[in-house]
Amino acid sequence: MGNGTFISLKKNQIDPEEQLIWEAIKGAAPFFSIITEIELKTIQSNPIKVIEGFVNQNELSEIIKLSEEFPENISLQWIYAQKIYIYIFAELNNLEDKITEENLMLLDKFPALEKKLYENFNEINFFPKELNLYELNANNHSEVISLLGEDLKNDIPIFIKCLSEIMENKPNNSCYVASQQLGGKTKTLNNGASFFVHRKSTWKPWIYASWKKNDLQEKEVALEWIYKSWSKLKRFYPNIHLAQLHCHLNSHEEEITLAFGNRMNELKTLKNIFDPQGILPPL
């Protein structure tokens, strides 16, 4: 813990006095503790069918609508940079699964999409070079704000229009908006309560901005674009996933509040007990 106390927890052997700590570690650990060791249970790796390619705005709108009816084993990820690129992942528990194939056949109407079969997830390559991303450029600095929200449903056309406006105003080619589809097990399998309070979320978009290192003017412009973009997307995605901690930015307090919601006071209590000197990230 932040106060130097060592604690060891086992999922199926949590004492009542440890329950709150266990729930907070699942979603809020960095604020009051340092995780030094974790034991994971692996699961069977199944083949993955990936449908991917470049699409236009109208096609993205159609594909998002289709994806909100996907079964648990299929999910959509998209990125809007210089162009729009999508990935649709289908875990093949049974190659003859009719529901999976019926859903994937709906994508045949998009001629630019290609289907590829992988033995497991580790073989998949993300973000083709044609997107002209500069995330790995050592001369760039960056920030990202990650959001959470439920299905767009009838708001998809409005969302696409809003997204188009955001991309028209991006300050440089290193800035983009992307999104992952959640739901399924994330939504239904809680494994006990946790401080991740937004399990009803089905989308996790993020806004990424980058600028040349030490260029303070470009940094200011890029951060202004992030905040304006976030403001436009709040109506669709009102909550926050803490992909990064922004203790150094003015948005930190609002992000923390939107991330932990009604469990914020409990987190502050744990912070006071286990990190009274404020050694770990602040709330």
Q: What is the pLDDT of residues 144-184, one digit of tens each?
A: 999 999 999 999 999 999 999 999 999 988 899 999 998 76
Which pTM was predicted?
A: 0.88
Please state, in angstroms and rounded to a whole number, the distance separating the CA atoms of residues 240 and 146.
Answer: 6
Q: What's the mean pLDDT in 226-252?
A: 92
Q: Give the least confident one: 93-97, 150-154, 265-269.
A: 93-97
Beta bridge partners of 67: none
Reduce the DSSP state of residue 67 to 3 states and report it. Answer: helix
Q: Which domains occur in the chain, in start order? A: 1-42+133-278 (3.40.462), 45-131 (3.30.70.100)
Contacts of 52 (CB under 8 A, 6+ apart): 85, 86, 87, 88, 113, 114, 116
Instruction: Confirm if 184 and 14 have CB atoms less than 8 A apart.
Output: no
What does R_g of the chain's alpha carbons equal in angstroms? Answer: 21
